[in-house]
Amino acid sequence: MKTILIADDDTNLALLYEQELTDEGYQVEVVHDARAAIERVQQNPPDLLVLDVHMPGMDGIEALNKILGINNQLPVILNTAYSNHKDNYLTWSADAYVVKSSDLTELKDAIRDVLAKRNEKE
């Protein structure tokens, strides 16, 4: 079973992700800030990280790049309410960029694609 780490400061939204992705057959863990996500990646890396951008303290873009320095094999999906970060060069190392929606179809598709690509690489 693939493990997905969700990093999102919106607890309600994180709960929704956790339920829906668990239903999809993933093992889901949730943290609510970027530092906790980095710590988790360092200690026990998941198979994929879904990373919010706007979080208090360290934002998701800074975390994305720090995580790249720690573990460049970890697939990361940036998941944000704002599409404008997509132009930011600092987000281009993410494996996918998903604009948040109440319908999680796009996120689920992105997770499937990214994990499939990772399997191909391996």
Which residues in this chain contact other proteins in the complex, by CB under 8 A?
65-66, 68-69, 72-73, 88-90, 92-93, 95
Instruction: Return the number of the residue (27 or 42) whose C-beta is nearest other proteins.
Output: 42
- Smaller CB distance to other proteins: residue 82 or 92? 92
Per DSSP, what are the bridge partners of residue 30? 6
Q: How far is the CB of 69 from other proteins (least distance, A)?
A: 4
Bin 64: left if φ > 0, else alpha if -120 < ψ < 50, else beta. Answer: alpha
Residue type, 63: A
Nearest distance from C-beta of residue 57 to other proteins, angstroms = 17
In terms of CB distance, is 54 or 66 closer to other proteins? 66
Cα–Cα distance measured from residue 42 to residue 21, given in angstroms and rounded to the nearest whole number: 23
Q: What are phi and psi of 9, to 5 degrees?
A: -80, -10
* Residue pair 46/29 in contact by the 8 Å Cβ criterion: yes
Smallest separation (angstroms) from other proteins to the CB of 95 = 8
Between 28 and 67, CB nearer to other proteins? 67
